[in-house]
Amino acid sequence: MKFVVFRILPVRASHQAGYRVGAFLDDGRIADLTPGMAVDGLSNNDLLKCFDLDRDFLTPAGEAIEGGVTRIFQREEIQIEAPVPRPGKIICIGLNYRDHAEESGMAIPSSPIVFSKFSTAVIGPESAIELPAESSEVDYEAELAVVVGRRAKGVSSSDAMDYVFGYTNFNDVSARDLQFADGQWQRGKSCDTFAPMGEFVATRDEIADPHNLRISFRLNGTTLQDSNTRQMIFNIPELIEFVSRSITLEPGDVIATGTPPGVGFARTPKIFLNDGDIAEVEIEGLGILRNPVRKAS
């Protein structure tokens, strides 16, 4: 299933807090799977429950689609949101592609480098990445993100894939001048709008091998990153095992698995995002995450 979060257009002020969940159909339309068909949609807490595999939202959702009992929307009737609009945690992995570590002038890590982004940084497709006044060096990072599907603590790598709900595109937008000036990465990685994701989450059964997917980034149509997830140093089961040793993962948490080479600050000359740019992340089987770039108001 291609799981999507959306609002019905026009989005009215009274509905801003409500989300609807659905699935992309093969013809591009969206089947509404919102539990109970609530008029004003779901709260974020209700939405996060949809990712809990132990609650088994997916089985009845699939049956509803097959039975033709869902409301169907055309794409122009809805506004697609981030597939996890407010995750409890966004856990990111640094330097997880060997070539990216080398282009950054850093040693190949012997264990995963973990940092986080604040959930207020999340935006969906077509929403603008805003360039903060405090930074003149805003960079892009195309990443495969894993959406957690079960509470996980002390999970072994051999069992880790049972805790995966699915996968989505992610752009780990980074203010390099803030990141390097601070000596740690939190502020430079967590500015508002710095965690675009989507358009949808492909459930685990949709992706035969998440460790063999082409991953690319385009800026204004020019490809700047082009690699494959098989180049990751630490694979998804290893990352879940490592993180869950000390951090409890919960349904709807997002793990961004690192970026391949080709980021802007490592180029000669450097390439950073500018007002009016179009940033696109594309991963095989996960569609395209497209975001315009604007100066923050």
pLDDT tens-digit series, residues 1-13: 999 999 999 876 5
Rounded to an integer, the average pLDDT of 106-116 is 92
Q: How confident is the model at residue 88 (pLDDT cuts 50, 70, 90)?
A: very high
As beta bridge partners, residue 72 has: 31
- Bridge pairing between strands 129-131 and 288-295: parallel
User: What does the mean pLDDT of the chain come to?
Assistant: 94
SS3 223: strand
Peptide bond into 10 cis (omega under 30): yes
pTM greater than 0.85: yes
Domains of the chain: 2-80 (no CATH), 90-295 (3.90.850.10)
Residue closest to 139 by CA, chosen among 291, 261, 273: 273
- The pair phi, psi for residue 59, each rounded to 5°, is -60, -55
CA distances from 64 to 5, 23, 34 (A): 17, 11, 11
**Predicted local confidence at residue 13, as pLDDT:** 58
**Which of 95-109, 175-189, 212-226 has the largest mean confidence?**
212-226
- The amino acid at residue 89 is K
Residues 6+ apart with CB under 8 A from 131: 138, 273, 274, 275, 293, 294, 295, 296
CA distances from 37 to 13, 22, 32 (A): 19, 11, 8
Residues 6+ apart with CB under 8 A from 41: 7, 15, 17, 18, 19, 20, 34
Write the pLDDT tens digit of every residue in 15-61. Answer: 555 899 999 999 999 999 997 554 567 889 999 999 999 999 999 99
Helices (H) and strands (E) in the chain, counts: 6, 20
Q: Please give the structure tokens belonging to residue 61.
A: 């959702």
**Predicted local confidence at residue 254, as pLDDT:** 98
Q: In 10 A of CB 183, how many CB atoms?
A: 6
SS3 66: helix
Give the total residue count for the chain: 297
Residues 6+ apart with CB under 8 A from 222: none
d(CA 252, CA 89): 8
Q: Please give the structure tokens belonging to residue 62.
A: 């699939």
Write the pLDDT tens digit of every residue in 113-150. Answer: 999 999 999 999 999 999 999 999 999 999 999 999 99
Write the pLDDT tens digit of every residue in 208-265. Answer: 999 999 999 999 999 999 999 999 999 999 999 999 999 999 999 999 999 999 999 9
Q: Please give the structure tokens belonging to residue 76.
A: 């122009």
d(CA 210, CA 214): 10
Rounded to an integer, the average pLDDT of 175-186 is 92
Q: Please give the structure tokens belonging to residue 216.
A: 């690319």
